[in-house]
Amino acid sequence: MAFSFIFGVLSTHAKPFESRKDLIHLLDRPTIPRTNQQQYRRRDPIQVEPGGILEILLSNLPGGAIHAHLPFSPVPLNECYLSLGFKSRFVTCLPKDSLGIDNDCHVINMVYAPSLKKWLWIDPTFDTYVMNEKGELLSIQEVRQRIIDNNPLIISPDANWNHKSSETKKHYLFYYMAKNLYRLECPVNSAYDIETTADGKHIEYIQLLPLDYFKQPAKTTWTNQYTKTSYTDYYTNNPAYFWLAPENN
């Protein structure tokens, strides 16, 4: 596994990347199997930052599987963006799961483009960004609305799942992501080492809920009995607040 740092800044904020793919290929990743992604965080003590994640990913033995979870790719990629001066977050995309049987979710990145005045959809797991019919890069919010309205969407031509298999727009957006864009969650503060658990550490998340979601809490707080890390989850129905542009952009 190797890091490939592309020195530049998104869009016209400073020097542009050589291509849109450079936004995703800051981190070349190994093949990571699908897992029960929704349960990866908050369970066991783990160093969830690039150094710790690399140690896990590089521990693959011949003939064995890499026991890592899908968010390990968006998390270090997010920290690569932050280290290069980007305003960036990783976003957990969650299903409605009204029956309580869907444990699947998906984690992607969003990077703020000052020239476009919006967050851009970046998915390192599927090696893709998303565009409209004019070839303009879209945000998570825009992709979600276009799926609802059945408006045209385009994914990058070489979209693939972890360099393992090619991906189609129909399966990726209208099957897999459509059901996982019901609820959206991200850390309140996007920073280095945000998800590493430790005794006495407190981590905060905010989740965007549709008005018709069957659960509408204002805030939940709890502590992991194993890691002794405490969590506060805030909830909002206000998309403008959730997608607020970063300061000093």
Q: What is the pLDDT of residues 131-184, one digit of tens each?
A: 999 999 999 999 999 999 999 999 988 898 888 899 999 999 999 999 999 999
- What 3-state DSSP class applies to 119? strand
Instruction: Write down the pLDDT at residue 36.
Output: 38
Question: Token match 């969830």: residue?
Answer: 48
Q: For residue 33, what is the DSSP state?
A: -
Question: The pTM is what?
Answer: 0.77
Domain definitions of the chain by residue range: 2-187
Q: From CA 117, how far away is CA 115, in angstroms rounded?
A: 6
Q: Do the beta carbons of residue 122 and residue 23 sit within 8 Å?
A: yes
pLDDT for 103 equals: 85
Positions of the chain with pLDDT lower than 50, given as ranges: 1-18, 27-48, 56-58, 60-71
pLDDT at 58: 47
pLDDT of residue 21: 57
Cα–Cα dist 124/73, whole Å:
7
Q: What is the pLDDT of residue 192?
A: 84
Query: Tell me, what's the pLDDT at 63?
Result: 41
Identify the pLDDT of residue 195. Answer: 82
